[in-house]
A and B are shown apart, each in its own frame.
Chain A
């Protein structure tokens, strides 16, 4: 033993561990195999799957599928006698109202409900709705590419530093756990019209005069409001995207980069030809979720103006009303319009997502 230890000085621990302790012999192979615990209910796997899915399905049906159907029904109803709370069961309400309209004994006559496209026609011809679609599309087209581009670059940079990476990652992730209303208030202060506002101070570095950004009364225009909204939206969206991209980067084999290094590939080409293609599943995921999120923009906008739930323009009327804002505006006044707006938004998002999937088939490398 001593000699072996001498031979494998560095393996000392291994050699010592190799000594096997003696135990009493209990394993008798002639007695057949040991039994495994039997399942009490021998259901097929698909039945077990369905049973496990039931709780989630109940909530999905009650709060997703049914509301979509209900909303769709409401959106097609003309002369819908809507009062608070009455919209929850649109189908039965429809027949109730129909029955009431045919009842001559009622003191106040009820108009007969009809199934028609009138709500849709009204919504489409509404200048506010047209304005809100244009606003939403502008915000989507500006903020989505900006956020994705910036977060991709930041993720790659973060990934390439070694010291303090965890700290920076935490800092960049903070916006994600912060409430969007609170973020809006912060940006409201940053874009303050006074020369103490952070944005105005930043401009003064380049010798530009301080100006109003948010409130029309102080001289803000639709453009400056848009800038403020875009900056806050982009910043708000960075956190999650950086997180996703960093996890994607971590799963890329380092040998690809070693191989590129041996070939002396410049950083730009490594980014464009290796990182981006290999990150394409994450980029697709982020693009689709960002588009969906951006089409649903609402709280970020009212938060920055900070004057209530239906103020979309810092005193300039409905300057930056979005589709969701338009829907929200009609929640009390004319529910069928809001329902029609919701259906239109759903179809719009669905269409764009489908287009993205089609485009991605040629561009994404799994």
Chain B
């Protein structure tokens, strides 16, 4: 079942009457049969989103679609979902069998007892707890309880399975095992599965797609590797990756980017590299009569694949923009030129994206604070010479002979450049 969220918002009213948008005009589609992770720091609205999909929270605004059906006002029991709670919510006074059978008691037409027991056994076998049916939840380990919770959620043949922080109550070893288990169960059943997590490794490892959220706003939706390799903004770059990405203060001078006086980027040709998501374009359009709001504009723009000036023109001219394409191009061109103005930028380099061998790319000189040997890799922690910025660099351990000095120079093989406001430039 495909799950589609359309302009979904949830506003909570605080004790003092202040409004907090837990989820802020969110739109995205989760394809049928995929395993999708909602990822974000705590308080970013990911659990709220999950509970809205489940129907336990009523959205303030927007619609939720399951396939072709609008389920926004459908009560949770009629949505055909299974929900695995954060702390499993297994009924402590019932055996595992009774727990798994409990949802089946409400199925109409009524199921025979033998039939229900059969389903319970089948689901228990699926999650590999087939021999534990007569135990009480407290007689099980955390990982086993988790499996019972999944079996219970699956017993009614849901079309969408929702998991709230499924691994956070487990210890590190079980976590690894359980996340593979979730992946396997999802593959075997083919149910569209959405899970919430604040652990990026968890999300990266098993999701087909991840949705990165921050403060109720979707930052990026992509395959895990793509989110890692091509973060859309500084937040996503910082949130993904462990150890975290290094952020260096850089400067853009005449279209060239320097960090600590070293050249990192030889120059932007504004064409092709220009950020078509720039808000400035919207303001140009409004000046000449475009009628939409910024939100509408952004939505329209984000829906377009292979964004270019002509397509943007199509959007704005369809809604009030008076001048022709050439004028629009000229105005935007002026903006592009302005984009080259000298200004501070952020250069972000992943810890593993440094190398000791000389390359064409930017060089940084490090005052080493300490060096950690962690088996496979060496982790060098230090500050950039002449700056206060702390960096962590990971290099394969075979280079350990070369990292003995207190000052080492590294070459950044790959890096991202962001505006200080967080938008990606390159």
A interface list, Cβ under 8 A from B: 3, 6-7, 10, 253, 255-256, 258-266, 269, 273-274, 277-278, 280, 365
A361 to B292, CA, bound (A): 69
Give every chain B residue within 8 A of A265 (Cβ-Cβ): 102-103, 105-106
A263 to B55, CA, bound (A): 12
Interface residues of B in 8-63 (CB under 8 A from A): 54-56
B interface list, Cβ under 8 A from A: 54-56, 75-78, 81-83, 85-87, 89, 91-94, 102-103, 105-106, 152, 156, 215, 234, 344, 420-422
A266 to B87, CA, bound (A): 23
Contact B85 A266 (CB under 8 A): no
Rounded to whole Å, the gap between the CB of A245 and the closest CB of chain B is 17
Contact B420 A262 (CB under 8 A): no
The 10 A-B pairs of least Cβ separation, nearest first, read A264-B77, A263-B103, A255-B89, A365-B93, A3-B420, A277-B93, A259-B89, A264-B106, A255-B85, A262-B76
Contact B77 A6 (CB under 8 A): no
Residue among B92, B93, B421 with the highest chain A CB neighbour number at 10 A: B93
Contact A258 B56 (CB under 8 A): yes
Name the one of A255, A263, A273 contacting B77, with C-beta atoms under 8 angstroms.
A263
Give every chain B residue within 8 A of A273 (Cβ-Cβ): 91, 94, 102
Contact B420 A6 (CB under 8 A): yes
Give every chain B residue within 8 A of A261 (Cβ-Cβ): 56, 76-77
- Quick one: closest A residue to B249, CB to CB? A3
Give every chain A residue within 8 A of B75 (Cβ-Cβ): 264
Give every chain A residue within 8 A of B152 (Cβ-Cβ): 259
Give every chain A residue within 8 A of B103 (Cβ-Cβ): 262-263, 265
Give every chain A residue within 8 A of B82 (Cβ-Cβ): 262
A280 to B94, CA, bound (A): 13
Give every chain B residue within 8 A of A7 (Cβ-Cβ): 234, 420-422
- Quick one: closest A residue to B85, CB to CB? A255
- Quick one: closest B residue to A278, CB to CB? B93
Contact B81 A255 (CB under 8 A): no
Contact A262 B56 (CB under 8 A): yes
Rounded to whole Å, the gap between the CB of B318 and the closest CB of chain A is 32
Rounded to whole Å, the gap between the CB of A288 and the closest CB of chain B is 20
- Quick one: closest B residue to A266, CB to CB? B106
Rounded to whole Å, the gap between the CB of B152 and the closest CB of chain A is 8
Task: Pull 11 A–B residue pairs with CB atoms less than 8 Å apart, ordered by A.
Answer: A3-B421, A6-B421, A7-B234, A7-B420, A10-B215, A258-B85, A262-B54, A262-B77, A263-B103, A263-B106, A264-B106
A261 to B152, CA, bound (A): 13
Q: When A10-B215, A261-B56 are in contact, do A278 and B83 touch as well, CB less than 8 Å?
A: no
A78 to B55, CA, bound (A): 76
Contact B105 A262 (CB under 8 A): no
- Quick one: closest B residue to A261, CB to CB? B76
Name the one of B77, B92, B106, B421 contacting A365, with C-beta atoms under 8 angstroms.
B92
Contact A255 B86 (CB under 8 A): yes
Contact B106 A253 (CB under 8 A): no
Contact B106 A278 (CB under 8 A): no
A262 to B164, CA, bound (A): 14
Given contacts A262-B83, A264-B76, A266-B106, 19 further A-B contacts (CB under 8 A): A3-B421, A6-B420, A6-B421, A7-B234, A7-B422, A10-B215, A253-B89, A258-B83, A258-B85, A259-B83, A259-B85, A261-B76, A262-B76, A262-B82, A263-B102, A264-B75, A273-B102, A277-B91, A278-B92
Residue among A3, A256, A259, A265 with the highest chain B CB neighbour number at 10 A: A259
Contact B422 A255 (CB under 8 A): no
Give every chain A residue within 8 A of B77 (Cβ-Cβ): 261-264
